């Protein structure tokens, strides 16, 4: 092999070959104009690239491979000449339960306690009520949807300067929808627990007439004509869209073109990502409920940081039609709320197939859960703390569930397997890479450039390992209905298992009180049992009733203080 000082240095070779598929499925490097030249592939270039492909060829084989790769290069140039809209998915789909057509039978959902309490006298108390209680007040007309909507819009405007959580206010739409909800309820046409409740959409959810920016400078003026399925279904449920909420640029972190979205409990912290605005606005009592999305932690992580309750549903439970794609085989849409029961009510409105997202499988869901909690087997992962000292196990034991020790699969290099996400994301945003667009995109450009050198063979190998991991995870969950704990964020995002996250207490450091959380994981399509256990745990502990001090929201974050 020639040294880097010889006629073809390693970078030149790889940059050329990254565009033609030699051991490569997608790119991760922004290619300059000279890189996109019509340079023919030579045997010498193939030799320089053999270390990427993990092979060693004879001179004869290199010459033959060079000819084949040159033909591939020309074919790829022809494919690049065809414009591919962002919403177009590849002609393959991941299903965590392959061959299972599901069922179109649909359950029903209603709040466990449907009797209306008395309306709070203090407006802030009203703002922080969970949806289950707001719904009863709206249904009995103790509070109107229009009043709620104006209150939440005022709160969003008031605190957005500190939290940086709103991308677009949908005020005109919200007031119109609220008035319609009030007319329908007055006429006896009550649609259910979300009727008249204001909500916020992570700004990768498209709604006609408003920008859908994906949090990134290249798309800040983007206006899509599509109405996302989840937005349409919430409209059918009578919910009121009040704002498009921030996400880290292209669903990474909490930094977007409008700044860094802040944690309402501690303004020196970001709210984590990428459903940053959804978690921050919910935690601060600025909206009734929100929707977020997760590919690798983007619901769970901001819920942990901000002390909100969230549901990451089973992959293929909720349609992603009209939502920004990041990784077709990993993206999921789910609710972020102030209580687990709220998550159940919102999930009921948005789940199920729509004929537009082929990964979605229909399975029934009902709430309240009908199964006796004491019949559930809850697994737990050892964490080094004696079981007698674990507060989570003490609470679960008092709830009457059967506790079962489990071990999660350990033999898979799951962090390495996230190359699946990198490769798919690099494919979605390939045009940005080839155009050299990097400003305001967080760490994505470097990830995409590197992903261009991921061999197709290795991308598929990662997916084969994923199939093996999925099989072993299902074997673990044959022992239990739900489990608690475990370092499983990467595992379960690869396998598609659902998780529920909820606040589980607070720490105090340097005089600042911050929430911490607990996570439960369920069987594929097992949201009923998952939410039943999480709800019971939440009712027993009550940490979701805590709220950040509103006075803190009016203070500017101190840039001197570390995050």
Closest CA to 295 of 132, 492, 438, 123: 492
| DSSP label at residue 82 | S
Diameter over CA atoms, the chain:
84
Q: C-alpha angle 87/91/93, rounded to 5°?
A: 90
Choose the catalytic residue: 24, 132, 144, 298: 298
Q: How far, in Å, CA of 397 to CA of 402, rounded?
A: 7
Q: How far, in Å, CA of 232 to CA of 229, rounded?
A: 5
298 is an active site residue: yes
Helix (H) or strand (E) holding 91: none
Give the start-end residues of each E strand in 308-393.
309-312, 332-337, 377-381
Q: How far, in Å, CA of 354 to CA of 321, rounded?
A: 9
| DSSP label at residue 373 | G
Residue 431: strand, helix, or coil: helix
Please identify which residue in the block is written with the tokens 């649609």. Answer: 191
* Cα→Cα distances 474→481, 525, 534, Å: 11, 12, 20
* Cα→Cα distances 460→403, 447, 463, Å: 37, 18, 5
Structure token pair of residue 490: 């990467």
Helix (H) or strand (E) holding 214: none
Choose the catalytic residue: 202, 244, 260, 332: 202
Q: What is the DSSP string of 273-306?
A: SSSHHHHHHHHTTSSSEEEEEESSSTTHHHHHHH
Choose the catalytic residue: 24, 42, 246, 274: 274
- In this structure, are residues 309 and 217 in contact, taking their beta carbons and an 8 Å threshold? no
Residues catalogued as catalytic? 202, 274, 298
């Amino acid at each position: 092999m020639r040294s880097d000082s010889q006629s073809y240095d390693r970078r030149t070779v790889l940059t050329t070959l990254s565009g033609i598929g030699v051991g490569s499925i997608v790119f991760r490097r922004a290619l300059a104009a000279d890189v996109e030249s019509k340079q023919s592939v030579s045997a010498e270039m193939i030799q320089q690239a053999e270390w990427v492909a993990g092979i060693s060829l004879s001179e004869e084989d290199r010459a033959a491979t060079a000819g084949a790769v040159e033909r591939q290069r020309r074919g790829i140039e022809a494919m690049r000449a065809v414009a591919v809209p962002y919403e177009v998915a590849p002609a393959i789909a991941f299903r965590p339960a392959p061959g299972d057509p599901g069922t179109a039978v649909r359950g029903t959902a209603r709040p466990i306690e449907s009797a209306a309490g008395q309306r709070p006298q203090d407006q802030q108390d009203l703002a922080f009520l969970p949806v289950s209680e707001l719904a009863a007040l709206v249904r009995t007309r103790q509070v109107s949807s229009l009043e709620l909507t104006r209150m939440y819009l005022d709160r969003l405007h008031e605190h957005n300067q500190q939290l940086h959580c709103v991308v677009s206010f949908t005020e005109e739409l919200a007031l119109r929808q609220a008035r319609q909800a009030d007319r329908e309820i007055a006429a006896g046409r009550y649609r259910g627990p979300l009727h008249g409740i204001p909500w916020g959409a992570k700004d990768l959810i498209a709604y006609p007439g408003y920008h859908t920016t994906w949090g990134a400078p290249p798309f800040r003026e983007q206006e899509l004509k599509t109405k996302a399925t989840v937005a349409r279904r919430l409209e059918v449920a009578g919910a009121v869209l009040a704002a498009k909420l921030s996400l880290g640029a292209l669903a990474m972190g909490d930094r977007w073109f409008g700044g860094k979205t802040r944690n309402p409990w501690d303004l020196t912290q970001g709210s984590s990502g990428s459903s940053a605005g959804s978690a921050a606005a919910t935690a601060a009592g600025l909206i009734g409920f929100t929707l977020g999305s997760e590919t690798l932690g983007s619901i769970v992580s901001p819920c942990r940081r901000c002390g909100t309750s969230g549901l990451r549903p089973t992959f293929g439970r909720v349609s992603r039609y009209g939502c920004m794609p990041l990784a077709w085989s990993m993206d999921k849409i789910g609710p972020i709320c102030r209580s687990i029961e709220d998550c159940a009510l919102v999930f009921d409105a948005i789940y199920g197939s729509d004929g537009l997202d082929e990964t979605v499988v229909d399975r029934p869901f009902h709430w309240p859960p009908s199964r006796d909690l004491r019949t559930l087997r809850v697994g737990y992962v050892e964490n080094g703390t004696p079981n007698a000292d674990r507060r989570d196990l003490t609470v679960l034991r008092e709830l009457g569930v059967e506790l079962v020790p489990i071990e999660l699969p350990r033999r898979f290099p799951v962090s390495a397997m996230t190359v699946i996400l990198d490769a798919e994301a690099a494919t979605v945003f390939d045009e940005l890479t080839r155009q050299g667009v990097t400003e305001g995109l967080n760490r994505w450009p470097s990830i995409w450039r590197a992903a261009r050198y991921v061999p197709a063979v290795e991308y598929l190998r990662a997916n084969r390992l994923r199939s093996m991991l999925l099989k072993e995870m299902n074997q673990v969950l044959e022992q239990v209905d739900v489990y608690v704990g475990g370092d499983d964020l990467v595992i379960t995002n690869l396998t598609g298992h659902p998780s529920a996250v909820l606040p589980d207490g607070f720490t105090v450091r340097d005089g600042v009180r911050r929430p911490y959380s607990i996570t439960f994981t369920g069987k594929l399509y097992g949201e009923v049992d998952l939410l039943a256990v999480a709800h019971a745990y939440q009712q027993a502990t009550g940490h979701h009733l805590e709220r950040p001090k509103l006075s803190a929201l009016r203070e500017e974050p101190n840039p001197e203080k570390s995050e």
